[in-house]
Amino acid sequence: MAENWLVRDATVEDAVACAEVYAPYVRDTAVSFELEPPTAGAVAARIAAALARHAWVVLEDGGRVVGYAYGAPFNARAAYDWSTSVSVYTETGRRRTGTGRALYTALFDRLAARGHLTALAGVALPNDASVGLHVAMGFEPVGTYRRVGWKLGRWHDVAWFQRPLGGGPADDGTPPAPLA
């Protein structure tokens, strides 16, 4: 299976496939707090925005996009510029196959190369698979927002995780390098 995999930078032409991967998470789970699956056009705009300052990667299996991961602004305030929010989605049935790990590994390399120092991920609970992936990828739990999302007839908590990218931020009074 993995011998047919290719992780590459996304293009806006991948929007249809990414929207198809994402739609079941929106429609059928509380993994995403969106209520309606975004159109391919909306996903294309998200890909373009991510590629401008962060990164978006896709995983192809036998030439077909079966998952993606991206970085996005963690917060709009300028002091947060070196931190990035990250997410990963794989098509249904690909849990525990290594696709999430492969996508995140490639994403983190790209984000670190662009100067991002910290990755943050929010995980809607319950979601043991996502918690497990994030811990396995070196994230540490940093807190939980309680009852912050209403979806599928109930309230959901969001656990937050954090990990350094590259060497991580220095705490020696030296300003960080400008982002690439």
Report the sign of the C-alpha dihedral through residues 128, 134, 136, 141, in that order. negative
Look at residue 131 and tell me if it is in a domain. Answer: yes
Q: Looking at the predicted structure, is the pLDDT value of residue 1 above 70?
A: no
Range of the domain at 50: 2-164
Q: Looking at the predicted structure, is the pLDDT value of residue 71 above 90?
A: yes
Look at residue 173 and tell me if it is in a domain. Answer: no
Look at residue 170 and tell me if it is in a domain. Answer: no
CATH number, domain of 32, equals 3.40.630.30
Look at residue 107 and tell me if it is in a domain. Answer: yes
Q: Which pLDDT score is estimated for 85?
A: 98
What's the total number of domains in the chain?
1
Mean pLDDT across 116-143: 97
Report the sign of the C-alpha dihedral through residues 123, 128, 131, 137, in that order. negative
Q: Which pLDDT score is estimated for 66?
A: 96
Place of tokens 């602004």: 73
Give CA–CA dist 90/20, Å, rounded: 10
Confidence bin at 163 (pLDDT 50/70/90):
very high
Mean pLDDT of the residues in the chain:
94
Q: Looking at the predicted structure, is the pLDDT value of residue 64 above 80?
A: yes
